[in-house]
């Protein structure tokens, strides 16, 4: 094999590897549904005696809410509830928090966002949490 061909082959392989590792995470709305229903909904029911169903808002409304990252009228952030430390703090009493204890925070956030978009009033399958 000539040195020029070897370098071309090496460059092609490195390029293909780099492209494969740079692919974006594809959110799993089903995993998001499990987390939302078992963590978010159970907490809202315990704290405020009210669940918030995905079909109560349109896709754009959910996106704006999540992008604003304000929970409880700005008292805290939404992101903290995807955090590993939060999941660790409730995993003794919450099976979903225990099950997803090692899931990267951004993946879990993307999964919940995907579920909310999927189940939104104008989503593919409007969903309640009952």
pTM, two decimal places: 0.78
Confidence of residue 9 (pLDDT cuts 50, 70, 90): very low
Residue 50 in contact with residue 44, Cβ under 8 Å? Answer: yes
Q: Which residues contact 66 (CB under 8 A, 6 or more apart)?
A: 78, 109, 113, 116
CB atoms inside a 10 Å sphere around CB 81: 20
What would the pLDDT profile of 77-114 be if each residue is shown by its tens digit? 999 999 999 999 999 999 999 999 999 999 999 999 99
């Amino acid at each position: 094999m000539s040195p020029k061909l070897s370098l071309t082959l090496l460059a092609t392989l490195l390029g293909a590897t780099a492209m494969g590792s740079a692919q974006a995470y594809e959110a799993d709305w089903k995993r998001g549904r499990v987390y939302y229903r078992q963590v978010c909904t159970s907490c809202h029911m315990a704290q405020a005696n009210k669940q918030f169903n995905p079909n109560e808002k349109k896709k754009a409304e959910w996106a704006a809410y999540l992008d604003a990252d304000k929970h409880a009228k700005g008292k805290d952030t939404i992101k903290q509830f995807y955090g590993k430390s939060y999941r660790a703090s409730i995993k003794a009493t919450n099976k979903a928090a225990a099950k997803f204890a090692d899931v990267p925070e951004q993946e879990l956030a993307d999964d919940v966002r995907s579920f909310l978009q999927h189940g939104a009033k104008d989503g593919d399958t409007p969903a309640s949490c009952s």
